[in-house]
């Protein structure tokens, strides 16, 4: 399987309504997912993680980026049947070409919103 390329929902102005791209399931644990965040301010990315497993918590890993601020992966445990949101610091987690790389199980659905 290939990496899941997820569309980033971009909010471009205060009070500007846009269509939201619903969370998509990670297709294979080994492949993960990625968002193209090029040109998005580093502190304006919200990652939405939805656990569709009704019995078990699932880990979502935001991979360490390639910029100077990158230190380590961020692992978030999402409880069974819950949805979590986290604000991402781009300098720590974006690759040099502006991608946010995520891994998790196929029970995890993800989406992202950028405010710029």
Write the CB contacts of 36 (distance below 8 Å, at least 6 apart in sequence): 5, 8, 98, 99
Q: Strands 58-62 and 99-104: what pairing? A: antiparallel
- pLDDT classification of 12: cutoffs 50, 70, 90: confident
Q: How many CA atoms lie within 13 A of 101 on its CB side?
A: 17
Of 102, 97, 114, 100, the C-alpha closest to 43 is 114
Of 66, 63, 43, the C-alpha closest to 110 is 63
Which of the two residues, 11 and 105, has the higher pLDDT score? 105
Query: Whole-angstrom Cα distance, residue 99 to residue 106?
Result: 20
pLDDT in tens, 58-70: 999 999 999 888 9
Q: State pTM to two decimals.
A: 0.84
**CATH of range 4-115; options 2.40.160, 3.10.620, 2.60.120, 2.30.30:** 2.60.120
Which of the two residues, 45 and 73, has the higher pLDDT score? 73
Burial track 86-100 (b if 16+ CB lie within 10 A, e otherwise): eebbbebbbbeeebb
pLDDT at 8: 78
pLDDT in tens, 24-58: 888 776 678 888 888 887 678 889 999 999 999 99
Looking at the chain, list the stretches that DSSP marks H as alpha helix, in order from N- to C-terminal side.
90-93
């Amino acid at each position: 399987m290939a990496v899941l390329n997820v569309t980033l929902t971009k909010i471009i102005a205060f009070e500007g309504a846009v269509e939201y791209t619903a969370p998509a399931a990670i297709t294979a644990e080994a492949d993960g997912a990625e968002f193209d965040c090029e040109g998005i301010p580093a502190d304006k990315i919200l990652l939405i993680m939805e656990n569709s497993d009704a019995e078990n918590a699932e880990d979502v890993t935001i991979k360490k980026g390639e910029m100077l601020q990158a230190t380590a992966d961020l692992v978030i445990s999402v409880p069974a049947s819950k949805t979590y949101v986290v604000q991402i610091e781009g300098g720590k987690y974006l690759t040099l070409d502006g991608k946010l790389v995520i891994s998790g199980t196929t029970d995890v659905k993800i989406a992202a919103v950028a405010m710029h």
